[in-house]
Structure 1
Amino acid sequence: MKKNYKKKGGKHQTSAAHAPQEGDVRAKKHLGQHFLTDESVAERIADTLSYKGYPHVLEIGPGMGVLTIYLLRKETDVHVIEIDTESVAYLHEHYPALEGKIHEKDFLRYDISEVFKQDQFAIIGNFPYNISSQIVFKMLELREYIPEFSGMFQMEVAKRICEKEGSKTYGILSVLVQAFYEAEYLFTVPPSVFNPPPKVDSGVLRLTRKEELSLPCDEKLFFRVVKTAFNQRRKTLRNSLKIFDLPENIKEDSIFGLRPEQLSTARFIELTLKIQPHAI
């Protein structure tokens, strides 16, 4: 049954809905929902994409659409994907411009090619904190189709993705994302602009795909090397990569005396190339 929502602030526009009001949709803790209520922040996030070189934009987890409003003002084809049935009902009622473009699916489990086929598209969103890293990993799987990606994460996660080697927060996400994208941390957002407010600050980042989509090494092995190294990040690579059963003479190379956070993405590629002839 379609839910009737109370309309506040007069009539809705026909091309885009009114600014969402607090309380229109109940935030659900198990979905990691924190609804953005500050329209100036939403507009800033919408402006992080260039909208050039691709025909579509996919917003993940639009909730009540405070960001969607500003996306619909751009010269692009906007689609949204939302798993929360209450939010989906709200979007159908208040956003006629999205007719046929509201996908009630789980982004992590949905084959998005059913929507965009082989077209390029950007991803944007105020991402649920509990699945934000998984969204990034899924984006990496689809990198051939995604030239731009931007949105809001828990600040710690956003900074980790953009961090460079030498930092304690530099990790798996940092290396894997930066192998294929230029990563920029853009700005910090306080808890006070959300309903309900999270317990931590949020951060907005932008990822721009590099021109070269492929790596000069075996990509599956690269992913495996990076993940294995950081799973024991306090150990040197000589010890953390024992699972590869490498010949002793290979491990004499000075790179194996380093810890994973000391290696840039380029050096992880170099490391993978050294391991590749001996990897099973």
Structure 2
Amino acid sequence: MKSVKPKKFLGQHFLKDLKVAQDIADTIDTCPGLPVLEVGPGMGVLTQFLLRKERPLKVVEVDYESVAYLRENFPQLEDNIIEDDFLKMHLERLFDGKPFVLTGNYPYNISSQIFFKMLEYKDLIPCCTGMIQKEVAERMAAAPGSKTYGILSVLIQAWYRVEYLFTVHEHVFNPPPKVKSAVIRMTRNETQSLGCNEKLFRQIVKTTFNQRRKTLRNSIKPILGKDCPLVQDSLFDKRPEQLSVQQFIDLTNQVEEVLKTQEEPTNPTIY
């Protein structure tokens, strides 16, 4: 079967450097024994090295041409080629509900969405590795105070240790992307609960970073209201990129207490 033509609307950039593919496959070795799910295998350049790990392996691919290519060239995968959209899958149904490693040369146009989905299934995914845009990888691994520290940094680092492993140049792809790429590894940390309202935590992180040039005193007004006395705290003189994950957790608990008092009905006057 002839090669698959990369499709721009799917964000496909097929890796052609076998050494890079081998190095990506080796990133899963820090989570030994677990089955593996590869997202966006394309023509299987990474898949061939994952198969050598001798672990249960499933691959999910939305492109029908790539699926046909994989079925013809990787018959050993048999029924483990899933033709589906990863973002719509019920991951708890994979591997009989057991934990697994997530990896892949991820489609660049949905890489952030893939990691948000990973967070939804964090108890099933103790390790996630793979290749994404260099800019996104830098954001995910950034520390507080960095210009690249943002929503992805906080939400992922709340649950995972993030390692920026190495940079990959454009010329190893077909077609070459307009940006450099990077390989990352995320490993679940020891956190089982953030100790705060997690839905409010996500709302605060997203709301404040969406106005990252403003101090918290101004960016958090959509949640707290402009007359809230809490904003007189010196913490609110900071911008969101200056806050650690723990400070965002502490802030969430403070905000929740204020919101509770705002919701409490006043005692009716008895005549």
Q: Which bin holds the TM-score, normalised by the shorter protein?
A: over 0.9
Inter-partner Cα distance in structure 2 for 1:75 and 1:254 = 55
Shifted more, 243-252 versus 133-142: the winner is 243-252
Letter in 2 for 1:229: T
Once superposed, what is the RMSD of the aligned Cα atoms?
A: 1.3
Aligned partner (choices 35, 44, 57) of residue 23 of structure 2: 44
Contact 1:54 1:119 (8 Å CA) reproduced: no
Task: Give the total of aligned pairs.
Answer: 259
Q: TM-score, normalised by structure 2?
A: 0.92
Letter in 1 for 2:13: H
Contact 1:35 1:195 (8 Å CA) reproduced: yes
- Quick check: 1:264 aligned with 2:244? yes
Q: TM-score, normalised by structure 1?
A: 0.89
- Cα offset for 1:55? 2.9
Inter-partner Cα distance in structure 2 for 1:104 and 1:136 = 20
Residue in 1 that maps onto 2:162: 183
Residue in 1 that maps onto 2:41: 62
Contact 1:85 1:104 (8 Å CA) reproduced: yes
- Structure 1: 5+ residue runs without aligned partners? 7-23
Higher helix share: 2
- Quick check: 1:159 aligned with 2:143? no
Shifted more, 47-56 versus 175-184: the winner is 47-56
Residue in 2 that maps onto 1:204: 183
Residue in 2 that maps onto 1:276: 256
**Superposition pairs for residues 25-104 of structure 1, below 5 Å?**
25-50=4-29, 52=31, 55-104=34-83
- Cα offset for 1:133? 0.5
Runs in 1 of length 4+ with deviation above 6 angstroms? none
- Quick check: 1:111 aligned with 2:90? yes
- Structure 2: 5+ residue runs without aligned partners? 261-271
Give % identity. Answer: 56
Contact 1:160 1:170 (8 Å CA) reproduced: yes
Deviations 1:92-142 (A, max 9, x none): 001012111000000001112222342101100001110001001010111
Inter-partner Cα distance in structure 1 for 2:228 and 2:62 = 51
Inter-partner Cα distance in structure 2 for 1:277 and 1:250 = 10
What SS does the corresponding residue of 2:79 show, helix, strand or coil?
coil
